[in-house]
Structure 1
Amino acid sequence: MAASSPPTQDSNLRGMAVSSISLITFAVGANVVFLRIYVRMKRRVIGWDDYTICVALALSLLGTVADVYQVANGAGRHIDTLTPAQLSEFIKWTFVEGVEFVIGTCFVKISVCGFILRFISKARWNMRYFIYILMGFLIVSTLSLVTALLAQCRPLKALYILDIKGKCYSKNVSIAIAYVQAAINVCTDFICAGLPFFVIRNLQMKRSLKIGLSIIMGLGIFTACFSVLRIGFLYTNYSTDVTYDNLVNVVCAVLELNLGIIAASIATIRPLFVNLGPMVRVSSDNIEAPYSSNRPYVRNLKASKAGRKPTGILLNRMGITKTTNTKISQDFQEASEERGW
């Protein structure tokens, strides 16, 4: 007895859930990026890491539009319930989202690398070279993957227009490209998420502030987790009921990109939530060094009669650090100036 086809669906709750997740996470990311640009422009320290995250946000907007059109053309429904026109539109917008996702995640990671470079002094050339090599690898691998996606059918319209005959990749080649892209994403996600820990630990600041910044900047680990999870659902791209089975994969991709944008930007808006006024008040009788509000500085307190070392208080726009060394580290000084903190 032949199996009956799935019944026609009056509502598409699965698809609506995907659209909602995409719209909400994009809206949150857009607001965080807006605040980031506001802070950077206010402090006049805007840089190319800010511009690249704006490009990533624009690509995320394109992905959100693609998600909405996919749902409007049957994503979340069984493929047997779709018309040929709906299936064609679904495939087209799935392709658009795939290309957008590859380029968007690349720009997010380049922005993260640019932000981390603000912390590193030029003397630490080995770390800086490693980050430049990582960015070069991201650019080359992204261009290669995008080229592979654009070349999967000749002509490309044969991919989504069912009436056009063309020469396309075999199923095995398409699966291999998908897994290579996912593997690159996982590796680079974890590298970008781990880099801040190696940089922050060398900065001269309070331990509690180091921990807080490490947690904030380490939010990229959640992005990497979604990247790993997405690998487990790549097989749904080639399901016989792809419009119904592929939604989990789509959700993972949406969260990976949009949470990556949020994680890459949230550390930059910290100045909005801290007191930017004087961090500490010291009696003028105990101050030997003049105060400068434009850059980090050290107030040297007079040594006590007991012969102890002079104790310094490192004041900056991020917090207060007590130190027995009145010389500010080159890393921290340059990082504070460049970040405008």
Structure 2
Amino acid sequence: MGLSESYPAYGGRGPDDLRLGLGLGTLATILMILRVYVRLRVNQFGTTALIWSLVAWFLTVITQCFGVISVLHGLGNKIAVVEATNQLGNYLLFTWITVFFFNMAIPIGKVAVAAFLIEINAGGNPKIRKSLIAVAALNIILNIPQVLLAWFQCSPPSALWDPSRQNLCNHSTSVHYTYFVGAVAAVSDFYLAIIPVTMLAPLRIDRKLKWGLSFLMGLGVFAGGAAIVRTWAAKFIMSDDPSWGVGILFHWGEVEEWVVLISMSIPPVWPLFRPFTHRFIKSSASRSNPLYNQYSQYGSKTGNHTSTGAPPVVTTTISISSTKGVSAAAMPVGASSSAESMTRYSEEPETPHTVWSSNGDPEGWVEMSHYKQNHCQ
């Protein structure tokens, strides 16, 4: 028995919206599980961003669940079909519940991205830190009226999901405010996607690595594009066929929600995949880099490595640092295999040498965790 037989109002854009949301949601959920695993088993970095991400994921899952119920009761289908199947009341109720949780999930997702970027910026550029805090705060503050307006478009509020009292509702204020908040959300997505590229640009790391990270951390531009379309689609709430038009809004709202979670979850889970990328990534750090001078002390301070005066051969890998703002000289690491170095050195958790600041000093998220040095007799 198909869904259309159990739910006669199901159809139109609804099935595509349902498949898209469940597909993106599954990918985002897998990445969130891996992200929690990395935090618990691999390193201690990114707790605040992870908590915000889990809250955003939870709200997005609730939004998706009610969105599925709304689709089954006519969201995305022609309003004439919804009315003919006596599902208009259910469509209105579950659609507005979906909108309510959507309006909470969207700003929390942006706060989670900002928190992640603040943590990888560590003690770096204070202007970037302040701008990220401003973006997070602005999205929270501006979305509070958006959340409340959804329930005060009708007098009394219960008329919102009562088909016989829709004449008591005025959606114009809410829709016009949605245009404003949606524009802010789109600009925020673009900013949160571009700012990591400006952090990466000055780093002396392999070009493939730099472009790859820039692409992964810049996926938020797709969320920004989705925010523009779903903001434009808000006008269909006041159209003659709202259930059909709101299907467009729901479609792009799903993309915006899940892409934000996906784009911010790929970088933190990189430690699980880096052993498979060594042959594609090589160090492009300059041999004259003053950082190499700091490595020479390993010859006298570690028993396994003896300095010969030649600079070490550095293999660049990616992970979340477990210690922020610590100098390279204070971080002994072993020349072990990729898999072993992810978690231990001489039975101790690895504290990677990290590089993220504009002058190449240790700070943040990209690590150079292995080095090899010739032994002298």
* Shorter-chain TM-score tier: 0.7 to 0.9
268-277 or 26-35: which moved more?
268-277
For residues 174-230 of structure 1, give each alpha carbon's deviation from its aligned partner in whole angstroms, at most 9, with x where no partner exists: 331221122111111111111111222244433332211111100111111111222
Match of residue 248 from structure 2: 248
Q: Is the Cα–Cα contact under 8 Å of residues 117 and 128 in structure 1 kept in the other structure?
A: yes
Matches of 2:318 and 2:306 in 1, distance apart? 16
Match of residue 174 from structure 2: 174
Code of the residue aligned with 1:70 in structure 2: it is S
Cα deviation for residue 335 of structure 1 reads 0.9
Match of residue 99 from structure 2: 98
Q: Is the Cα–Cα contact under 8 Å of residues 192 and 220 in structure 1 kept in the other structure?
A: yes
Q: Is the Cα–Cα contact under 8 Å of residues 299 and 314 in structure 1 kept in the other structure?
A: no
37-46 or 58-67: which moved more?
37-46
Cα deviation for residue 269 of structure 1 reads 1.3
Distance change >3 Å, CA 30–CA 288, structure 1 → 2: same
Match of residue 146 from structure 2: 145
Specify every segment of 5 or more residues in structure 1 that has no aligned partner in the other structure, as ranges: 1-8, 281-286, 292-297, 304-310, 320-325
Asked whether 1:230 is paired with 2:227, we answer no
Specify every segment of 5 or more residues in structure 2 that has no aligned partner in the other structure, as ranges: 1-7, 283-294, 300-304, 320-327, 330-353, 371-377
Q: Is the Cα–Cα contact under 8 Å of residues 10 and 73 in structure 2 kept in the other structure?
A: no
Q: Is the Cα–Cα contact under 8 Å of residues 108 and 260 in structure 1 kept in the other structure?
A: yes
Distance change >3 Å, CA 44–CA 248, structure 1 → 2: same
Matches of 1:184 and 1:65 in 2, distance apart? 26
Instruction: Report the count of equivalent residues.
Output: 306
Code of the residue aligned with 1:130 in structure 2: it is S
Match of residue 298 from structure 2: 290
Asked whether 1:335 is paired with 2:359, we answer no
Distance change >3 Å, CA 30–CA 252, structure 1 → 2: same
Match of residue 350 from structure 2: none
Code of the residue aligned with 1:34 in structure 2: it is I
Match of residue 21 from structure 1: 20
Q: Is the Cα–Cα contact under 8 Å of residues 104 and 257 in structure 1 kept in the other structure?
A: yes
Match of residue 302 from structure 1: 309
159-168 or 85-94: which moved more?
159-168
Distance change >3 Å, CA 200–CA 142, structure 1 → 2: same
Cα deviation for residue 50 of structure 1 reads 0.6
For residues 54-65 of structure 1, what are the structure 2 equivalents within 5 Å?
Answer: 54-65=54-65
Distance change >3 Å, CA 192–CA 300, structure 1 → 2: farther
Code of the residue aligned with 1:289 in structure 2: it is Q
Match of residue 156 from structure 2: 155
Q: Is the Cα–Cα contact under 8 Å of residues 70 and 93 in structure 1 kept in the other structure?
A: yes
Matches of 1:62 and 1:11 in 2, distance apart? 20
Code of the residue aligned with 2:99 in structure 1: it is G
Match of residue 114 from structure 1: 115
Cα deviation for residue 26 of structure 1 reads 0.9
Code of the residue aligned with 1:222 in structure 2: it is F
Q: Structure 1 length as normaliser, TM-score?
A: 0.78
Q: Structure 2 length as normaliser, TM-score?
A: 0.71
Q: Which has the higher contact order (CA 8 A, sep 6+)?
A: 1
Matches of 2:276 and 2:306 in 1, distance apart? 18
Asked whether 1:40 is paired with 2:39, we answer yes
93-102 or 252-261: which moved more?
93-102
Asked whether 1:208 is paired with 2:208, we answer yes
Distance change >3 Å, CA 337–CA 260, structure 1 → 2: closer
Q: Is the Cα–Cα contact under 8 Å of residues 106 and 142 in structure 1 kept in the other structure?
A: yes
Secondary structure of the corresponding residue to residue 57 of structure 2? helix
Q: Is the Cα–Cα contact under 8 Å of residues 356 and 366 in structure 2 kept in the other structure?
A: no
Matches of 1:107 and 1:172 in 2, distance apart? 25
Q: Is the Cα–Cα contact under 8 Å of residues 92 and 160 in structure 2 kept in the other structure?
A: yes
